[in-house]
């Protein structure tokens, strides 16, 4: 299961991480987010040596969502050296996420 992250730990765990970091921005009420959650959990297990994975609830962490212009959820963003990559918006198939991960 992917660890929850809040705005208090975001800088330390995401922006200052030495590994690339995958952040799943979601909300509990979001149906597509619930569909993506098991896939993100699977990928976090498969790619645990290469990436850190976190989930960020936008309702509880509005400041983080606002900082990264999260307008639709789910949005998955890969950060490297503190810089966000292109957002992956909406429910996407596994191959789309794997293609993005392979770029890092």
Q: Which amino acids are annotated catalytic?
A: 30, 33
CA distance 26 to 4: 11
Cα–Cα nearest to 61, from 17, 26, 20, 33: 26
DSSP string, 22-61: EEEEE-TT-HHHHHHHHHHHHHHHHTTTT-EEEEEETTT-
């Amino acid at each position: 299961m992917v660890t929850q992250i809040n705005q208090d730990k975001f800088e330390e765990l995401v922006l200052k991480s030495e590994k690339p970091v995958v952040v799943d921005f979601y909300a509990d009420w979001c149906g597509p987010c619930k569909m993506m959650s098991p896939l993100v959990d699977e990928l976090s297990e498969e790619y645990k040596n290469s990436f850190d994975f976190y989930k960020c609830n936008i309702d509880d962490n509005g400041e983080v969502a606002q900082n990264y212009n999260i307008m639709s959820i789910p949005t998955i963003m890969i950060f490297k050296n503190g810089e966000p990559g292109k957002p992956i918006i909406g429910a996407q198939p596994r191959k789309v996420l794997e293609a993005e991960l392979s770029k890092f």
